[in-house]
Structure 1
């Protein structure tokens, strides 16, 4: 079955919420190192805190020498089913919705939005798209040797976001709408607001968000770029 959902739509849907989760992950982990045993399977962090993930999923690897992303289900290393289940689910979703980036075993860097050349940027695109489909919102990238980046979705109760806090929400909106490479900022804003349980009314020229201690107005120009952000914040 084919419909109008595209890889770019998934990136817009994930953008702001993925950003907030990564900011939260940095705060939770602090200074850290990571370790994984894909055969056990086991994934964890040591450093300022010691955390053993309650779940993790290898999505794939971005190799600079080949200039391609290789999905975990296509990797000849024959990883355990539990480790690649999310990647296989993304492949099935790609077949259902006609999204070639999720279906092709190897995806050239140049075939992705913006034609990124750096493995960490490619891994970031793939993990963001995966988040929008799986609902697992925290990711981690690790050095797999030779400049290759391995991308994971990781799970632990401490990785879950707290209730929306006005100043944090506005930081995410400002940083995300201006700094992220989004194709449709209106879609990205609406997706974030609804997933965060905020009130949202997003039109062509303006978006209005509301929540505990927060009232915000985001103005868009004729090209869909942010032309202004106004917010009233209070402690909820």
Structure 2
């Protein structure tokens, strides 16, 4: 079947309906497109069927599209045959896909041939797949030439380098070992850095191990932390914990050792960050709670609005989600269903950048297992409220989703919301409440709140005193252990 102009218009309308989520209309139009001579209609119908779990119908549509000349559909049929164990049929369809110039079919044909021992022919198809744009093909050529360090290392380096230049993290990682085998330690480190930047889960660990062995503990800690944050690497977590313990830093040792399997407390970096803004965050939260109330919440991530009780608030940022099943937090920027380009998620870049710049792992890691906390849900709420301070005014609202199995968290920065003001009497209550959340940083809680409201601060070992621009005065006395002992509030006296 050759493509007929009459099929183009229903195909384009069908794809638009598919993107808009109207699958019934999409199927109707794509069928019409295929019947009018557009093989892409059958190919897309195959994907729709596959997405709803009907593999048989999907393969039937892909077969029709393949027979009409689409090489990407021939690839899908070949892949289905390979999964079913029919390697003869898989090879036949992969060859058909390769003949049509589809890189996926060409690559998979090479892999199939290699697995049955036809290495030379496989390498030929890998080269063809590379010419068609497949970085995985170059990776496979590098792997075959490498032969676990026993082969042609120059050729392996060439192909791994080509794949890495196209963004293949596995190739960059393996390139590091090839260069190591060739006696190029500097080149090895450069390749592992590239692999780490490309998201390879083991590259940061290798760099950490290298620098620890070289005696550069600070650099080793940085790479081990990255390995744990980005890949949850337990081996890196153990070595990181050991490094901190050797330094006498038990809080950080405990935090990083726990990180892969369930935190029971915040990192010292997060505690310092969050405690300073905690009282102000509670004040903003109280004002938002009064404005919103206990009502049903609706949200629009494109318009950045949150609607509650018939009132619509603007400036909404989708912070993230908490799973009540696994006790895990997922920042919205790390959620594959949303992503950083969504308008309500884009502002979160400020939170992530702050976490990376100031080494606050709770703000930089996409996913956090909070299962070790006494109250994981409350731990997530505290984290969301603290992080929201980086996004401006307002507070945080949450709502249950997925039949109560999860919660979504939103920050609202609407100019129409009431602005928090400094009142000496309420200030002492706010600071006492925040001090209960961060009991080890009570002095920081007090100083942070007073600074937030522009108070003139006077400090001694025993007392922190703040005088607001309006003349309100708060005095907080501390024990030698840094715990709040007494508070007083009133008007500042002249003099």
Question: TM-score normalised by the shorter chain: which range applies?
Answer: 0.7 to 0.9
* Structure ranking higher in helix proportion: 2
Contact 2:458 2:465 in 1 (8 A): yes
Cross-structure match for 1:218:
476
Measure, in 2, the Cα distance between the counterparts of 1:76 and 1:96.
Answer: 24
In structure 2, the CA distance between the partners of 1:167 and 1:109, relative to structure 1 (3 Å rule), is same
| Greater relative CO, 1 or 2 (CA 8 Å, sep 6+) | 1
* Structure ranking higher in strand proportion: 1
Contact 1:140 1:152 in 2 (8 A): yes
In structure 2, the CA distance between the partners of 1:206 and 1:158, relative to structure 1 (3 Å rule), is same
1:215 counterpart SS class: strand
1:165 maps to 2:428: no
Measure, in 2, the Cα distance between the counterparts of 1:36 and 1:207.
Answer: 42
- Measured after TM superposition, the shift of residue 167 of structure 1 is 3.0
Q: Tell me how large the CA RMSD over aligned residues is.
A: 2.6
Measure, in 1, the Cα distance between the counterparts of 2:407 and 2:456.
Answer: 37
Measure, in 2, the Cα distance between the counterparts of 1:149 and 1:20.
Answer: 22
Measure, in 1, the Cα distance between the counterparts of 2:272 and 2:398.
Answer: 22
- Measured after TM superposition, the shift of residue 11 of structure 1 is 1.2
Contact 2:279 2:431 in 1 (8 A): yes
Cross-structure match for 1:58:
318
1:129 maps to 2:390: no
Cross-structure match for 1:108:
369
> Can you list the C-alpha shifts for 1:145-172, whole angstroms capped at 9, x where unaligned?
3332211111212324243233332332
TM-score, normalised with respect to structure 2: 0.42
Aligned pairs for 1:187-198 (under 5 A) are: 187-198=444-455
In structure 2, the CA distance between the partners of 1:23 and 1:122, relative to structure 1 (3 Å rule), is same
2:431 counterpart SS class: helix
1:92 maps to 2:367: no
Measure, in 2, the Cα distance between the counterparts of 1:162 and 1:96.
Answer: 28
Measure, in 1, the Cα distance between the counterparts of 2:368 and 2:395.
Answer: 22
- Measured after TM superposition, the shift of residue 110 of structure 1 is 4.4
Measure, in 2, the Cα distance between the counterparts of 1:84 and 1:127.
Answer: 14
- Measured after TM superposition, the shift of residue 194 of structure 1 is 1.1
Alignment size in residue pairs: 225
Contact 1:69 1:107 in 2 (8 A): yes
Contact 2:328 2:367 in 1 (8 A): yes
Q: Which moved more, 1:192-201 or 1:158-167?
A: 158-167
In structure 2, the CA distance between the partners of 1:170 and 1:90, relative to structure 1 (3 Å rule), is same
Contact 1:56 1:155 in 2 (8 A): yes
In structure 2, the CA distance between the partners of 1:36 and 1:132, relative to structure 1 (3 Å rule), is closer
The structure with the larger Rg is 2
Cross-structure match for 2:336:
76
Contact 2:464 2:476 in 1 (8 A): yes
Cross-structure match for 1:155:
413
Measure, in 1, the Cα distance between the counterparts of 2:360 and 2:441.
Answer: 18
Measure, in 1, the Cα distance between the counterparts of 2:444 and 2:283.
Answer: 17
> Can you list the C-alpha shifts for 1:64-107, whole angstroms capped at 9, x where unaligned?
21221111111121255211113233222222222222222211
**Which ranges in structure 2 are unaligned for 5 or more consecutive residues?**
1-218, 223-267
**Which ranges in structure 1 are unaligned for 5 or more consecutive residues?**
none
Measure, in 1, the Cα distance between the counterparts of 2:430 and 2:271.
Answer: 20
In structure 2, the CA distance between the partners of 1:67 and 1:20, relative to structure 1 (3 Å rule), is same
Contact 1:186 1:203 in 2 (8 A): no
Contact 2:462 2:479 in 1 (8 A): yes
Measure, in 1, the Cα distance between the counterparts of 2:392 and 2:458.
Answer: 23
Give runs of ≥4 in structure 1 deviating > 6 Å. Answer: none
1:6 maps to 2:263: no
- Match 1:180 to one of 433, 437, 440: 437
Cross-structure match for 1:117:
375
Contact 2:281 2:395 in 1 (8 A): yes
